[in-house]
Amino acid sequence: MPRTISHEALVSFVDEVRSYLPTMRQGIAGYHTDASQTDALREAYRLAHSVKGTAALVNLPGLAHVMSMQEDLLEAVCEARHVWDNATHDFATGVLNLVESYCDDLLLKRADEAAFIAAAAKLQAQLAGLDEAGDEASIAEFVVTTTSAETVEPLRQAQGLAEQELHEDAFDPSSLVLNDQEQLDAFQLEAEDHLHDFATALAEYRRSPESLDVLRQARRTIHSLKGSASTIGLNEVAHLAHQMEDVLQQLLDGHLPQQDSTIDLLQESTDRLEELIAGAALNENIAHPASVVAPLSP
């Protein structure tokens, strides 16, 4: 049975997505202007991947599907499997426009995921070279193929539950935690990616403490993990990730000196995050981890 989502959790998720959109737009626009800006495009790709994963966690399969389209395209460009051109730029930008409008509709409780994914499929048809003015039939066939019954029917079923699921007092928010093993399994997979990326960035920062870009990457990664955990009600994970994010911001702002002891504490905090996530999957309670990074708090 689909897990309900509180209005508060939905607002948190939408805020998270909205916070990513400017960076994604900048990355796409920057690469369109200057093809040497591959790092900016890779960041847009990473954020598309993050939104896709979190959307799946909160039972928004339409958004997850659309962001998968975006992710696949950006990945193909980054790996030189697709040549960037005006049509690619228009698709990537168009998807972000759709997502922005969709987020507004979510909060107004009028989002139609089937229509949303069909609109994205039209953009994909245009990317494939079909001209809307002269190829209406071809575009319609493309949309039907892309939004197959296997994809759209679950969206319609989910849409039918939307009014029940998005009421502010629909359920006790604490019931999010550990109610849906499938949701937790999906979160675990996403968290593994985030923790791997964070550990890689942290190791690189230890080797090259002058590299603030690496530190920013580490902060963005832990911010994404915090958002995903908060959205599905894993508050202990979100709390520790938030503390780690604060420490990383202090390093970026120069309020904390770069030293091995600080990085060691961040690494220890990463280990605790892994324990918390593993414990959540096993329905175990783990002691609050605040003391791990508390010594670094201002």
The string of pLDDT tens digits covering residues 10-45 is 888 888 899 899 999 999 999 999 999 998 998 899
Please report which confidence band the pLDDT of residue 174 belongs to, taking 50, 70 and 90 as the band edges: very low
User: In the prediction, which pLDDT does 283 show?
Assistant: 54
- What average pLDDT does range 143-160 have in this prediction? 46
Lowest-pLDDT choice from 92-101, 136-145, 242-251: 136-145
Is pLDDT at 254 greater than 60 in this prediction? yes
**Range list for CATH 1.20.120.160 in the chain:** 7-165, 177-296
Q: How far apart (Å, rounded) are the C-alpha atoms in residues 111 and 63?
A: 11
Closest-CA residue to 262 (of 195, 206, 219): 206
What CATH number belongs to 177-296?
1.20.120.160
* Contact between residue 275 and residue 179 where contact means Cβ atoms under 8 Å apart: no
What CATH topology corresponds to 7-165?
Four Helix Bundle (Hemerythrin (Met), subunit A) (1.20.120)
105-118: average pLDDT: 86
- pLDDT reported for residue 90: 95
pTM exceeding 0.85: no
Cβ atoms of 44 and 14 within 8 Å: the answer is no
* Neighbour-count burial of 38, counting CB atoms closer than 10 A to its CB (0-12 exposed, 13-18 middle, 19+ buried): middle
Among the residue ranges 56-60, 86-90, 160-164, 291-295, the one predicted with the least confidence is: 160-164
Q: What is the mean pLDDT of the chain?
A: 77
At position 222, the amino acid (one-letter code) is I
- Burial call 51-72: b when 16+ CB within 10 Å, e when fewer: bbbbbbbbbbbbbbbbbbbbbe
**Burial level of 1, CB count in 10 A (0-12/13-18/19+)?**
exposed
Q: Is pLDDT of 262 > 90?
A: no
Split at pLDDT 50, 70, 90, the class of 95 is very high
